[in-house]
Amino acid sequence: MKSFPLIWSNLFRRRVRTFLTLFSIIAAFLLFGLLRSIAGAFEMGVNVAGVDRLMVSPKYSMVDGLPISHLAQIEAVEGVAGATHMTWFGGTYQNPTNFFPKFPVQPRVYFDLYSEYIIDPLQLDAFERIRTAAVAPADLAEEYGWQIGDRIPIEGDIWLRGDGSDLWEFELVGTYTVRDDESTFASFLFNYDYFDEARIPETQGIVSNFVVRVTDPDQAGEISARIDAQFENSINPTRTATEEESNRQFAAQVGDIGLIMNSILSAVFFTILLLTANTMTQALRERIPELAVLKTLGFTDRRVALLVLLESVLLCGLGGAVGIALSGFALQALGPELEGFLGQIEMTAATTLSGVGIALLLGVIVGLNPALSARRLQVVEALRK
């Protein structure tokens, strides 16, 4: 550690070069932070799925819908601890870029099943009691400036009202949060009973899917098979999978976002690796006589090599840390605009840590070769140069 001032002053001896290199590294890690967070927004729905929940969907297509009468049969299946239904509402709030999922649900059962959603018991009572009630995730309510008691108009597209109108109005009676705040697909929820009564009579009684909590997650496979067997020969057969699998399948429809992000990142890192390696080699070459002097003064081979290596690790680590921090700020500034397109984007601890880890690793890779040549340096030859 006492060599730190030496490493520091070596690093900033050629200020222009060091700063230019630093800025390149910062740019690379700024991209790393942004791209990983965006890719994360696509993967997030998969990670948050409850381990003890199954999703029962129509067998042939998610747009087909299932009759609500399936619910009683599902509840009777051995191994099922609880079940409810959800219906994809679609719809638009003010303009199409305000995207958030909206579902009519059975208030009490829904919050029982999604035990990670936390709501004030009085608000949950109100949600159950008031026909036109709705609840929203607290951050969504904050984003649109909704207060409890506000009326929120949603223009329907899939579901029209029996009175011929396509305008649905809900009264916000509560907000909820998600434990550990890991969820990104927290939804705008409203009362199914009201929805069902008000929609066009021919479409009544149809829901999108059922959510099932199982008694033993290890038996998810058997229970899924038992549920599907119930409906195999009905006119509305089902396909049951764990919530995680079902979210993953939907995310995969968009295409492999992760693959595209990773290809771009490899292009970026390959470039930065080459550039930084070049700078470090150059820095070392200039300093050969000096390193020889250090060795003459009694610095061991190992210590000289370490000095060179640490210099590179420090440069990359510094660049990485600043880059990641900048991407955090950028996401905060851009977040609300991007979220309209992509859902909630958050910079996770995993992204931060892996970014810093990669930065340090980059430092080691880049510094290794110069460090080894510094170690091999022969004092007499080097001084003669």
Partner 1 sequence: MLAQIFQISLLNLRNLPQRLGSSSVIVVGIGGVVAVLVAILAMAAGFSATLNRSGAPDRAIVLRGGSSSAELSSTIDNQSRQFVGTLDGVRLSSGELYTVADIPKRATLLPSNVVIRGVEQSAFEIRPEVRIIEGRNFNPGRNELIAGRAASEQFVGIDLGASVELRQSEWEIVGIFEADGSAYESELWTDLAIAQSAFRRFNTISSMRLQLEQPGVTDPLQEAFDINPSIDLAVTSEEEFFRSQSQFLTTLITGFGYGVALIMAVGAMFAALNTMYAAVSTRTVEIATLRALGFGATPVVVSVLAEAVALALIGGLLGAAVAWFGFNGYTVSTLNQGSFSQVAFDFAVSPDILVTGIVWALSLGLAGGLFPALQAARMPITRALRGD
Residues at the interface with partner 1 (CB under 8 A):
16-17, 20-21, 23-28, 30-31, 34-35, 59-63, 90, 92, 155-158, 160, 164, 166, 235, 237, 248-249, 252-256, 264, 267-268, 270-272, 274-275, 278-279, 281-282, 341
Provide, rounded to whole angstroms, the least separation between the CB of residue 347 and partner 1. 16
Q: How far is CA 298 from the centre of its chain?
A: 52
DSSP string covering 218-270: GGHHHHHHHHHHHHTTSSS-EEEEEHHHHHHHHHHHH--HHHHHHHHHHHHHH
Q: Which is nearer to partner 1, 206 or 383 (CB)?
A: 206
Q: Which residues contact 183 (CB under 8 A, 6 or more apart)?
A: 44, 48, 116, 117
Q: How far is the CB of 335 from partner 1 (least distance, A)?
A: 14
Q: Choose between 80 and 283: whose C-beta lies nearer to partner 1.
A: 283
- What are the DSSP calls for 77-142, one per residue? STTEEEEEEE-----BSSSTTS---EEEE-HHHHHHHSTTEEE-HHHHHHHHHSTTEEEEEHHHHH
Pairwise CA distance, residues 12 & 28, whole Å: 21
In the block, residue with structure tokens 């210590």: 303
Give the shortest CB-129-to-partner 1 separation in angstroms: 30
Closest approach, Cβ 271 to partner 1, in A, equals 4
Instruction: State the minimum distance, in angstroms, from the CB of residue 81 to partner 1.
Output: 27
Query: Nearest approach, Cβ of 264 to partner 1 (angstroms)?
Result: 6
Max Cα-Cα span within the chain: 96
Q: Give the pairing of strands 238-242 and 53-58.
A: antiparallel
Q: Residue 155 or 181: which CB sits closer to partner 1?
A: 155
- Please identify, using beta-carbon distances, which residue of 226 and 248 lies nearer to partner 1: 248
CB nearer to partner 1: give 122 or 252: 252
18 vs 123 by CB, closer to partner 1: 18
Please give the structure tokens belonging to residue 365: 């890779």
Specify the residue, 81 or 368, whose C-beta has the smaller distance to partner 1.
368
Using a 10 angstrom Cβ sphere, with 0-12 exposed, 13-18 middle and 19 or more buried, the burial of residue 323 is buried
Task: List b or e across 132-142, with b for residues whose CB sees 16 or more CB atoms inside 10 angstroms.
Answer: bbbbbbbebbe
Min CB(254)–partner 1 separation in Å: 5
Nearest residue (CB) to partner 1, 74 versus 272: 272
HSE-up of 376 (CA within 13 Å, CB side)?
Answer: 7
Q: How far apart are CA 382 and CA 48, in angstroms?
A: 59
Tell the smallest beta-carbon distance from residue 384 to partner 1 (Å): 18
